């Protein structure tokens, strides 16, 4: 895929970035170089390589799922202007 001047202007408009005409010409070349590099990456054989989010293997520390507070929903709903059936009552916002 090649980027032309109209594509650069369209991208700038979508990004809401003001790009001067002389800057747009330079961006055409830069974006085309970036896309060429991405196409080179697409040619690599990645079969057997697990997807990763970091170069260092990590795992999320987990904690036990323990209830630490009692059910105090009645006390919370006591602060509501209007409550019904154990829920806050709010005005209808969808017509």
Residue-level length of the chain: 95
For the full predicted model, state whether its pTM sits above 0.75. Answer: no
The tens digit of pLDDT for each residue in 17-74 reads: 999 988 999 999 999 999 999 999 888 898 888 888 788 888 888 988 888 888 888 8
Where do the domains of the chain lie, and which CATH numbers do they carry?
5-42 (1.10.20)
pLDDT at position 53: 79
Per-residue pLDDT at 7: 94
Rounded to an integer, the average pLDDT of 10-22 is 93
Give the tokens for residue 32.
């085309």
Q: Are 2 and 32 in contact (CB under 8 A)?
A: yes
84 bridge partner residues: 87
């Amino acid at each position: 895929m090649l980027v032309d001047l109209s594509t650069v202007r369209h991208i700038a408009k979508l990004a809401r970035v003001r790009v001067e005409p002389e800057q747009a010409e330079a961006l055409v070349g830069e974006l085309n170089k970036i896309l060429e590099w991405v196409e080179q990456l697409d040619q690599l054989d990645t079969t057997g390589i697990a997807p990763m989010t970091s170069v260092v293997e990590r795992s999320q520390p987990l904690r036990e799922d323990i209830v630490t507070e009692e059910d105090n929903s009645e006390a919370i709903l006591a602060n509501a202007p209007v409550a019904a059936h154990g829920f806050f009552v709010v005005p209808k916002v969808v017509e």
